[in-house]
Structure 1
C-alpha cells in the first residue's frame, strides 16, 4: 500500500485530491477524498475507462493529456496514477485560469486552437468538467506551450456508442468546445 502524506498534497477539486507520488516525483496520485460532494468519484471511473480506451486505440500523442500509469491502493483509498505536468524548468505547471486572469484569452489563441485540434484529431471526448482551472499550461520553453487537461476526460452521457464513430465523436467535441468557449473564454 502506498502511503500518502500531507507533504505530498498538491490540490483538490470537488471529488478528488491530488498527491505527488512519494516514490516518483514525476507521477501524481488522484484519490477520492472523504467529505467530497459524492461518496464515490464518478470521474475516477470515467477517467480510467477513457484512458483504457485511448490505450486500446493506440494513442501516441500525449501532448494535451497526462500519461496514465494505472491504479494503486493507498492509505487514503484507491487512486489513479498519472504524469505530473511540469514546465521545462521542473516546476509544476500552472492553470490556464491563472494565465487567463493574468494575460487574457488572446495571449493563448494559438494554444487554444492547437488544444481543440488535439481533441478533434484524436477523437478524445471531454466532459463538462473541462474548465480553465482543470487545464494546465505546460511551458516546454519560453515560447512553446501546450495546454493539458488534468480533469474532465471522458463522456458523461449514458449512451456513448456514437463516440466510436469518428463523425459523431467530432460533432460532439465541436459542440462541447463551443460551450467551453462560450462559458469560459468569451
Structure 2
C-alpha cells in the first residue's frame, strides 16, 4: 500500500483528489476523497474503463492525455496512476483556464485545433467534464505547448455502441467539441 501525504497533494475536483506518487515524482495518483457525497466515483470507473479500452486498442500517443499506469491501493483508498503533467522546467502544468484568462483564446488557436484533431483522429470520446479547468497547458519550451485533458475522458451517454464505429465516434466528438467551444471558449 502506498502512503499519500498532505505535502504531495496537487489538487481536487468534485469527486477526486490528486497526489504526487510517493515513489515516482513524474506520476500522480487520483483517488476518490472522503466527503464528496459519493462512496464510489462514477468518473473514476468511467475513466479507468476508458483508459483500459484505449490500451486494448493499441493507444501509444499520449500527447494530449496523461499516460495511464493502472490502479493502486493507498492509505486514502483505491486510486489509479497517471502521468503527472509537467512543464519543461519541471513545474506541474497550470490549467488552460489560467492561460485563457491571462492571454485569451486567440493566443491558442493552433493548440486548440491540434487538440481537437487528436481526439478525432484517435476516436477518443470526451464527456462534458472537458472544460478549461480540466485541461492543462503543458509548456514544452518557451514557445511550444500542448493541451492535456486531465478529467472528462470517456462517454457518459447510456448508448455508447456508436462510439465503436469511427464514423459515429467522430461525429459525437465534433458535436461535443462545438458545445465545448460555445460553452467555454466564446467568452474569451
User: For this structure pair, what is the TM-score category when the shorter chain's length is used for normalisation?
Assistant: over 0.9
Query: Deviations 1:155-178 (Å, cap 9, x if unpaired)?
Result: 001111110000100000000000
- Listed as ranges, the gaps of 5+ residues in structure 2 are none
- The SS at the match of 1:183 is helix
Runs of 4+ in 1 over 3 A off after TM superposition: none
1:3-152 correspondence runs (5 A) = 3-152=3-152
- Unpaired runs of 5+ residues, structure 1, are none
Which TM-score applies when normalising by structure 1? 0.99
Q: SS of the counterpart of 2:162?
A: helix
Q: Deviations over 1:56-111 (max 9, x none)?
A: 11112110000000000011100000000001111110000000000000001110
**Number of residue-to-residue matches in the alignment:** 186
Equivalent in the alignment of 2:157:
157
Q: Which residue number corresponds to residue 170 of structure 1?
A: 170
- Offset at residue 37 of structure 1 (A): 3.7
The alignment partner of 2:31 has SS state of strand
Question: C-alpha distance in 2, partners of 1:158/1:143?
Answer: 41
* RMSD, matched Cα: 0.6
SS of alignment partner, residue 108 of structure 2:
helix
Looking at structure 2, the residues matched to 56 and 41 of structure 1 have their Cα atoms a distance apart, in angstroms, of 23
TM-score by length of 2: 0.98
Contact (CA 8 Å) 1:14, 1:37: kept in 2 or not? no
